[in-house]
């Protein structure tokens, strides 16, 4: 059995992000949402690579606000983002990590994604009740 390396640098993060979003774009349920919202995938890959590099290696590259971005997506999709969408996203994220990597940082990437998905969905729900 081949031993996989851990996520250890920006190239690894970018490989993960690109591989993951290739799956998302083709997914029956997630694909239409992402393909409707994202107009420049190369820019999105860079942004998400910055985000995950910040999350995993504490390199302050990402300057955005993921909460407001996800709330805007929900607004644009008529408040149709559900916990199911986050669950599907999370399953694909775990699957992609498991295909490419193993180790402590891979585990952290899964753990952070799981916590973020819960928090983001709660923030979307709160935003719906305010608007």
pLDDT band at 131 (very low <50, low <70, confident <90, very high): low
Task: Give residue 1's pLDDT.
Answer: 64
Task: Give residue 62's pLDDT.
Answer: 84
Task: Give residue 59's pLDDT.
Answer: 86
pLDDT in tens, 26-76: 999 999 999 999 999 999 999 999 999 999 998 888 888 999 999 999 999
Do residues 127 and 71 make contact, with C-beta atoms less than 8 angstroms apart? yes
d(CA 115, CA 19): 21
d(CA 4, CA 120): 30
Rg (CA), the chain: 15
Is 130 or 46 the better-scoring residue by pLDDT? Answer: 46
Residue 130, CA distances (Å) to 64, 85, 125 in order: 22, 22, 9
Task: Give residue 129's pLDDT.
Answer: 82
d(CA 131, CA 111): 31
d(CA 3, CA 108): 18
Do residues 60 and 54 make contact, with C-beta atoms less than 8 angstroms apart? yes
pLDDT in tens, 95-104: 999 999 999 9
**Comparing 31-35, 58-62, 82-86, 88-92, which segment has the lowest mean pLDDT?**
58-62
| Averaged confidence pLDDT in the chain | 94
Do residues 117 and 86 make contact, with C-beta atoms less than 8 angstroms apart? yes
């Amino acid at each position: 059995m081949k031993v996989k390396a851990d996520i250890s640098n920006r190239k690894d993060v970018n490989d993960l992000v690109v591989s993951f979003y290739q799956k998302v774009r083709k997914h029956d349920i997630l694909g239409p949402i992402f393909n409707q919202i994202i107009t420049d995938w190369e820019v999105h890959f860079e942004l998400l690579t910055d985000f995950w590099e910040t999350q995993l290696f504490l390199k302050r590259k990402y300057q955005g606000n993921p909460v407001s971005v996800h709330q805007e997506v929900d607004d644009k999709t008529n408040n149709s983002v559900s916990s199911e969408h986050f669950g599907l996203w999370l399953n694909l994220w775990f699957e992609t990590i498991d295909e490419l990597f193993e180790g402590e940082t891979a585990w952290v990437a899964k753990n952070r994604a799981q916590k973020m998905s819960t928090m983001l969905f709660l923030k979307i729900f709160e935003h719906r009740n305010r608007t």
